[in-house]
Structure 1
């Protein structure tokens, strides 16, 4: 079961409260067969943008200096691990277009030598009635209930840019990693 620190819930509640009434139009999956909204090459470009934007955050101290704060214990479940979540509350903007250069959360896990190493970027949006957020042609997971009291219904999407995930680059848990 996910364990997310109350700081995350408080930050997300505040971010949801700041959400405006006007939401930008975003692509969403209607369930009908269709061509991908973003070609594979463009999707790979978005992933490369996330990797480039987070390269400096391989050092967790740099992430902390940039406004990311630890928000809970290492999240692990039967499907593998997500890692330790670090949230930048200033980057949670419900209904705003997804900016691949500004992931609101980063996840870290132990390296073989014991230091924290960057595992993934996580995009997070409280549900304010917007269409399913998209990362290029990849829909976010959700909407899902908060993982603890006070956490809003939300969408999220992991992008495994620091550690290979054999289950897929957008899969929430990584079966190859453990806390």
Structure 2
């Protein structure tokens, strides 16, 4: 009976910690929100773990001719539209020197509510930052806003810059 009580106690404690981690209780504190994002994405350092959790690889390494790269995006369609720090729409993997994909950033993608790229009154905010956009040029996505957070790879352009000069696509 004692072993069962301990197991029930451990299960309840685990459930409570998951509930707290999933709760939006981060308010507007950017540091707390970043901690939540890091905790949520830290389990996906290997792309195969992201794929197993439902993130779909785009298999295209995104880069810009002068600003650097982003890397490979693994997208969870269920998280598009989320501004909860623990539910990024994409995990971004940068290739290392051997070509192996390393977790580098998270990205939040929110559709533009009026689908009019000339208006921005619906621009979302997370981590104390306004999202970039609106963007109209990504196939398969409606007019949308996005925000990157380079939690796992240093970005000299800034924590929330879309591109990282240290990311090189093959």
Relative to the length of structure 1, the TM-score reads 0.71
Distance in 2, Cα, partners of 1:54 & 1:151:
23
Residue 84 of structure 1 and its aligned partner are, at CA, apart by 0.6
In terms of Rg, which structure is larger? 2
In structure 1, list runs of 5 or more residues that go unmatched.
1-36
123, 126, 139: which is aligned to 1:132? 123
Greater helix content: 2
Q: Is 1:101 aligned to 2:101, yes or no? A: no
**Residue aligning to 1:54:** 41
Distance in 1, Cα, partners of 2:167 & 2:37:
21
Distance in 1, Cα, partners of 2:92 & 2:130:
20
**Residue aligning to 1:63:** 50
**Residue aligning to 1:158:** 148
Distance in 2, Cα, partners of 1:101 & 1:76:
26
After the TM superposition, list the runs of 4 or more consecutive aligned residues in structure 1 that deviate by more than 6 angstroms: none
Contact 2:95 2:167 (C-alpha < 8 Å) held by counterparts: no
Q: Is 1:111 aligned to 2:96, yes or no? A: yes
Contact 1:124 1:157 (C-alpha < 8 Å) held by counterparts: yes
Query: Partner of 2:60: helix, strand, or coil?
Result: coil
Distance in 2, Cα, partners of 1:102 & 1:151:
18
**Residue aligning to 1:83:** 71
In structure 2, list runs of 5 or more residues that go unmatched.
1-26, 115-120
RMSD: 1.8
Distance in 1, Cα, partners of 2:46 & 2:94:
12
**Residue aligning to 1:12:** none
Relative to the length of structure 2, the TM-score reads 0.74
Query: Partner of 2:137: helix, strand, or coil?
Result: coil
Contact 2:113 2:122 (C-alpha < 8 Å) held by counterparts: no
Query: Partner of 1:47: helix, strand, or coil?
Result: helix
